[in-house]
Amino acid sequence: MRIIVFNAGSSSLKFGVFDLDAAMTLNQAQQLYKGSFDRFGPDGCDFRHGAHTERAPHRSLSDATRAVPALLQQAGISGIDAVGHRIAHGGARFDAATLLDDTTLAQIAALTPLAPLHNPANLEAVDVARQVWPDLPQWAVFDTAFHLSNPARASTYAVPKAWRDTGLRRFGFHGTSHKYVAQRAAEVLGHPLRDLRLISLHLGNGASACAIAGGVSIDSSMGMTPMEGLVMGTRSGDVDPGLFGYLQREMGLDIAEIEDGLNRHSGLLGLTGSSDMRDVEARAAQGDSDAQLAIHIYAYRARKYIGAYAAAMGGLDALVFTGGIGENSPSMRRRICDGLGFMGLLLDHDRNMAVELTARAAPQIQAYGARVNVLVTETAEQLMIARDVAVAMARPSCQSTRIPVAVSARHVHLCRKAVDALFGPSYELTPDKPLRQQGHWAARERVNLHGPKGDIANVAILGPLRDRTQIEVSRTDSFALGLDAPVRQSGNLDGTPIIRLSGPAGEFDSDGLIIAARHIHMSAQDAARMKLRNGDMADVTLDATGRDLTFTRVLVRVTDNAFTEMHIDTDEANAAGIRGEGDGHICAAASMMPTRDE
């Protein structure tokens, strides 16, 4: 499949042509052409293609977009199947690659106040591309889409409800970059993405940090707009919102002037007079105190986010640097990482100084024996956009298939050591009722859970025994216990809270307290019929007997002899208006990135 991708800015247009299909890894995709137009002006612009730079007569984004077909013809490239566009802000509506039509374009245009520097240029490129290629499907991939998986505690501002009802919330940006970085890191490390806890640092003129756990974004430093978070080239990053009132009183500035100052005249530019880190580092080495302070602030802010996100994920497997500064500044990488040795994050000097990024390389630069991997890679947002479009185009039209939905009440899975402590040495649990999943059963015995706020008695035990104790509760249960149970897939227990269990013979303290992420057990036969694979995500809409609620991004777990059914917890069942069990309709939604164990 051949896809051309446009990334349009107010004064630039980047584009590329890719050959790939939905089943390829990122490193297997081929880029056939790479070009960019920069610094539009009355006398033309700079045109870069490959290693060459020349002047071109195009004075605007529209002129440059219209010139692309002739450039591709000169390069001998034809047979384009689709056009992909980077759209900065998709709000809460657009969570995946979306086919563009008049309705979706109007919805995107309505989001312009949230990204006034980005969305208008994005939409201008779409408008021209639809004229140039009227017969090709035009797709949008959104910077914000990757972050819509952020939990409410990360995306919600603590402001009045009336404000939140207007749509005020945190969105996050650089989503295609962070998504690419995460998938590339998983390829290089040879681990399934769903098993990794990653922090992606996109450090360029725009900068953001992203915490990625289980393959999804759980937090991002940018907020409702791209202004929040890290220090950037011209943007301030985190500031006290009280400065609006202060600057109005002290300097007579209105809201528009303050917003313009925070967006265009702050960050490195506000601290040093230059928005280019290369200039700032050079001046700092010559003794410029403003530049030295800017570098300290920049690194300190990034280091704080790394520590915060490692805490939020309960640990860290890899830190990945990308973006112009992250890729090219060994000294900034070192400044950010120094002081994080307490968490097992240490750089190797020689590896850090010898980073080579050709051919989509992602070298590791951590010290030998360090617990946390540190990687550097060039971001490839255009490639990620092309792949998202290819996956969307390859997805078969949704064939709605009925699937049973079971409500999974609180329960525990015990290990041998736990059974011995709770019921006595060598005690054997008594299977009482078989479950639908072959070989699984509910035991006659029960246990009690004890938290710092309260207790839950008579909790069911499910067998057979496991290698590690796992306690599954609802979010409401976790508040009753007074513990912060994370949403996790079964078996992903590292960094989970410790809770006390009690039985007739004694007590047992164990980690493994989770809120089980909704999932679908599926037989291999049903998976083949529905064209789903282990690790795919699906959407499930409950029958009208409930509240017509759709659960998105439900993990599909395929085993040979599974009984096909979806499991949700009691809070989700209450939200859907069902009790005990019900029915839903499943539709394939998105595939996870292929990894080495699939």
Q: 3-state secondary structure string, 286-309?
A: CCCHHHHHHHHHHHHHHHHHHHHH
Catalytic residue among 19, 95, 143, 539: 143
Contact 584, 405 (CB under 8 A): yes
- Catalytic residue at 597? no
Tens of pLDDT, residues 130-187: 999 999 999 999 999 999 989 999 999 999 999 999 989 999 999 999 999 999 999 9
Q: Which domains does the chain have, with CATH numbers?
A: 2-142 (3.30.420.40), 175-383 (3.30.420.40), 410-516 (no CATH), 518-590 (2.40.40.20)
Residue 327 labelled as part of a binding site: yes
Neighbouring C-beta atoms of residue 41, cutoff 10 Å: 10
Q: Is residue 594 very low, low, confident or very high in pLDDT (cuts 50, 70, 90)?
A: very low
Q: Which long-range contacts (CB under 8 A, 24 or more apart) does 496-501 make?
A: 496/314, 499/449, 499/450, 499/451, 499/471, 500/449, 500/450, 500/451, 501/412, 501/418, 501/422, 501/447, 501/448, 501/449, 501/450, 501/469, 501/471
For residue 470, the cross-strand partners are 413
Q: d(Cα 510, Cα 32) in Å, to the nearest integer?
A: 54
Residue 205 labelled as part of a binding site: yes
Residue 324 labelled as part of a binding site: yes
Residue 381 labelled as part of a binding site: yes
Contact 412, 459 (CB under 8 A): yes
Tell me, rounded to whole angstroms, the distance of Cα 454 from its chain centroid.
Answer: 34
Mapping DSSP onto H, E and C, the string for 473-527 reads CCHHHHHHHCCCCCEECCCCCCCCCCEEEEECCEEEEECCEEEECCEEEEEHHHH
Matching residue, tokens 């940006």? 173
Residue 249 labelled as part of a binding site: no
What are residue 555's phi and psi, to 5 degrees?
Answer: -70, 135
Tens of pLDDT, residues 379-432: 999 999 999 999 888 876 656 688 889 888 999 999 999 999 999 999 999 999
Helices 381-394 and 175-189 cross at an angle (nearest 10°) of: 90
Residue 326 labelled as part of a binding site: yes
Tens of pLDDT, residues 36-63: 999 899 999 999 998 889 999 999 999 9
What are residue 404's phi and psi, to 5 degrees?
Answer: -70, 145
State the DSSP H helix or E strand holding residue 201, giving kind and residue range, or none if neither: strand 197-203
pLDDT at residue 9 above 60?
A: yes
Tens of pLDDT, residues 215-243: 899 999 999 998 999 999 999 999 999 99
Residue 190 labelled as part of a binding site: no
For the chain, give the percent of residues with pLDDT over 70.
96
In this prediction the pTM is 0.85
